[in-house]
Structure 1
Amino acid sequence: MVFGFSKAIVLGFLFTAVQNWTNSTILKGKNLFFLLLFWALGRFSMYPLGFPAYLSFGLDISSDLMVIYLLIPKLMVPTQKHNRPIVFHYALFTIFHLLSGLSARSVLQPERTLLFVHLSIFVILFLILIIGGRVVPFFSGVVIPGYSFKRIPKLESAILYLPFVFYFFKLIQGFLAPNVFTNIDITNFNLVIGILIASFLISFSLFVTNSIRFLSWKPWKSYKKPILWILYMGYFWVCLGFLFYSLAELGYFPISSAIHSLTVGGIGVFIYGMITRVSLGHTGRSIVASRLTVFAYFIFNFAVMVRVFFPLMGEYKYAYHLSGTIWILTFLIFLLQYTKILFSPRPDGKPS
């Protein structure tokens, strides 16, 4: 889900956005072929196949290195200074991906596997927030008559750079946790409290900054446009997820529910909203969600509520099974609605 599904979708968003920002074509011909090939062959790395699994993992990492190679010439230039953090985020994603794979194979300490997987998830989330910060208000301006919003430069800078502070403290927490946090005494008490408070403040800052941004976009104006409000719902789950995550840092909320608010809610809902939109827009169709797609939007958000809140009532089994079943159903609806569209020529005859 992290290095296969989410990575592929986010790369699609990312390269589309970068090509628009730089007015250039990056993915075509051999570049596209080898990136797809390395990613596809990398999917076998999770199976216990001995050397072939290591080879598969190497190809998966190669796809990450290829992404960085393709992005650097486009974004590490003076005119793209505001987009440079994207390269830094993806470089960290590559490192966390590599470390998670080595930890899972006991080359490194296996108990750190989940730390690196979670950090990889957060990189994907922060990349989505960067892309969402550009496209959501743009889409709103296109479809909502008289729409306007006030961009807050300092807020945007905070949202862009706070994640790097977040990564730093998550790494500190992750490397100290097995020893310091389980053996608290007078000599390390101040260190433990300091790390916990810092982690809480950073997570809470992410909640505050993203919530201000979310409200500045006037999401209530999207209620008549399902294909737009679904993106706002994804962002809403991110804001709520960071609130829950900050509380989880202090032990006041289950960490699993907080993470799934950010993943199933933030990443999942936003991805679903984007793929239903771009599948219409990039194939020359009218950008209007069908009734079946709107139904999928509602049940997808219900799946998030089930996964986040049912465990709070002790219903872990139902949370896993019901939310997972609904997730599968929503993507079956997507296949039913969009397969023909994606495999058919554009009505206007243009390339898609």
Structure 2
Amino acid sequence: MPTAAARRAYRGPALFSFGFRPFFLFGAAWSALVVPLWVWSFLAGGPGALSRDWHVHEMLFGFLAAVVAGFLTTAVPNWTGRMPVIGAPLGGLVALWTAGRLAMLFEAELGPVAAAVDSAFLIAFAAVVWREVLAGRNWRNLAVCVLVSLLALANVAFHLGAALWDDGAGERLALGAACVLIALIGGRITPSFTRNWMKVRRMEPQPALPGRLDQAALGLTGLGAALWAVLPLSPATGAALALAGAANLIRLVRWRGWATRSEPLVWILHVGYAWLGVGLAFLGAAVLLPDLVPRTAGVHALTAGAVGVMTLAVMTRASRGHTGRDLAADASTTLIYLAVNLAAVLRLAAPFAGLLQPDLLMASAAAWTAAFGGFAVAYGRMLVRPRPAAA
């Protein structure tokens, strides 16, 4: 059955009619909880279970994995024309993700069982993506399959590292895969959506078409991410990351994002991609000039900035488009965008703030929770209800 026909034939709960619905909603709600819980634990001596490792793990393999799953379970059927993962199979994936979150909360009591339960979701999800892309002969997106597999591998490495050697390799591999995903997918949708928006308004010149610069930016991003995963302190790694940051910022300028300043639903994609370039540059500077630039500045420019902003950009646009709403940001959406960027700026500034660092951490956490909690509240109703009949 073709993708569109399969969706029309579905008669179950609206929440499980598209992959983006449960994964965006639950991922955003979980993210809105994880950050303040971690800051409370860090600043006020909360429970030992809420350690830094738990915070890092849940942001990368809980929140980010949910958003990636929501996007790909919605996009892959459109890429391949095959049956979408909806209904009971989608519910099974959501249950695996939820089990992982509970397992990590009780990791101290469950021991190695928690790692096994948590790892199951990304392994199963990677298998689903590989199956659909290969069966649909969608060779263009084999790179997406590889990146999802690397995210699953990074999760396993994170658990093994915590138990055996604890060098952060799993964390670096996951963040590197996320950066390449943003460069790859963000590099497709940002100029494409910008071009479509400008065409309707007959605006010229339009974003530059893909070319060698785009390929170079992707290649440098992949190289920098790979080197950082295995050689995090090497000057070659710092140079590759800095070059990747510069290449992505040059790439971004060619997409003419300033022309979309009147529509937040479009310019937020450019802001999210800008954070990728800035984050890679900061991370490279932290490797080359560790006495001047803290490593956490680069890491959080990528996590709170690139990942946080780009995920919300994709979540809001996909949610509005697939539920029949106008592709225009309302007031609540614009406030969400402002909040997540404020959270990123404050988190980037915190390592440089000296005695003010705790205050900036709390303010950043509050802004992050406002952004993702705000998404869950503002978009929750459209995510759990059927698409309006007239849409």
Q: Deviation per CA, 1:177-197, whole angstroms, max 9, x where unpaired?
A: 6xxxxxxxxxxxxxxxxx31x
Partner of 2:360: 319
One-letter amino acid of the counterpart of residue 55, structure 1:
V
Shift of 1:203: 0.3
1:341 aligns with 2:382: yes
Go from structure 1 to structure 2 and tell me whether the alpha carbon gap of 1:334 and 1:48 turns closer, same or farther (over 3 Å shift): closer
Give the distance between the partners of 1:68 and 1:332, measured in 2 at CA: 28
Aligned equivalent of 2:202, options 115, 127, 146 = 146
Shift of 1:91: 1.9
Q: Secondary structure at the match of 1:295?
A: helix
Partner of 1:115: 169
One-letter amino acid of the counterpart of residue 239, structure 2:
L
1:23 aligns with 2:81: yes
1:307 aligns with 2:347: yes
Mark the runs of 5 or more structure 1 residues left unpaired by the alignment. Answer: 178-194
Go from structure 1 to structure 2 and tell me whether the alpha carbon gap of 1:164 and 1:296 turns closer, same or farther (over 3 Å shift): closer
Partner of 1:125: 179
Are the equivalent residues in 1 in contact too, given 2:106–2:114 (CA < 8 A)? no
> % of aligned pairs identical?
28
Are the equivalent residues in 2 in contact too, given 1:240–1:261 (CA < 8 A)? yes
More deviation, 67-76/288-297 = 67-76
Give the distance between the partners of 2:216 and 2:122, measured in 1 at CA: 26
Number of aligned residues: 326
Aligned equivalent of 1:249, options 268, 274, 287 = 287
1:13 aligns with 2:71: yes
Go from structure 1 to structure 2 and tell me whether the alpha carbon gap of 1:65 and 1:26 turns closer, same or farther (over 3 Å shift): farther
Go from structure 1 to structure 2 and tell me whether the alpha carbon gap of 1:247 and 1:339 turns closer, same or farther (over 3 Å shift): same
Q: Deviation per CA, 1:62-118, whole angstroms, max 9, x where unpaired?
A: 2222222222234347953332221222222222110111222x2x213x1x33213
Partner of 2:316: 276
1:82 aligns with 2:82: no
Q: Give TM-score scaled by structure 1 length.
A: 0.84
Give the distance between the partners of 1:143 and 1:212, measured in 2 at CA: 21
Q: Secondary structure at the match of 2:196?
A: helix
Give the distance between the partners of 1:150 and 1:321, measured in 2 at CA: 40
More deviation, 43-52/114-123 = 43-52
Are the equivalent residues in 1 in contact too, given 2:221–2:241 (CA < 8 A)? no
Go from structure 1 to structure 2 and tell me whether the alpha carbon gap of 1:50 and 1:323 turns closer, same or farther (over 3 Å shift): closer
One-letter amino acid of the counterpart of residue 257, structure 2:
P
Q: Secondary structure at the match of 1:289?
A: coil
Shift of 1:53: 4.7
Go from structure 1 to structure 2 and tell me whether the alpha carbon gap of 1:135 and 1:25 turns closer, same or farther (over 3 Å shift): farther
Give the distance between the partners of 1:327 and 1:84, measured in 2 at CA: 33
Give the distance between the partners of 1:299 and 1:29, measured in 2 at CA: 33
Shift of 1:7: 0.6
Shift of 1:341: 2.0
Are the equivalent residues in 1 in contact too, given 2:151–2:174 (CA < 8 A)? yes
Are the equivalent residues in 2 in contact too, given 1:43–1:56 (CA < 8 A)? no
Shift of 1:49: 4.7
Are the equivalent residues in 1 in contact too, given 2:81–2:136 (CA < 8 A)? no
Which aligned pairs between 1:32-43 and structure 2 lie closer than 5 A? 32-43=90-101
One-letter amino acid of the counterpart of residue 119, structure 1:
L
Give the distance between the partners of 1:171 and 1:51, measured in 2 at CA: 30
Give the distance between the partners of 2:230 and 2:238, measured in 1 at CA: 13
Go from structure 1 to structure 2 and tell me whether the alpha carbon gap of 1:4 and 1:257 turns closer, same or farther (over 3 Å shift): same
Which aligned pairs between 1:150-229 and structure 2 lie closer than 5 A? 150-174=208-232, 195-196=234-235, 198-229=236-267
Q: Secondary structure at the match of 2:293?
A: coil
Aligned equivalent of 1:64, options 101, 108, 122 = 122
Shift of 1:125: 2.8
Give the distance between the partners of 1:210 and 1:321, measured in 2 at CA: 31
1:258 aligns with 2:312: no
Mark the runs of 5 or more structure 2 residues left unpaired by the alignment. Answer: 1-58
Are the equivalent residues in 2 in contact too, given 1:244–1:253 (CA < 8 A)? yes
Q: Deviation per CA, 1:286-335, whole angstroms, max 9, x where unpaired?
A: 12222232123223212211111243232311221100011111223223
Partner of 2:329: 289
Give the distance between the partners of 2:222 and 2:376, measured in 1 at CA: 36
One-letter amino acid of the counterpart of residue 234, structure 1:
G
Give the distance between the partners of 1:137 and 1:164, measured in 2 at CA: 20
Q: Give TM-score scaled by structure 2 length.
A: 0.76
Give the distance between the partners of 2:228 and 2:248, measured in 1 at CA: 19
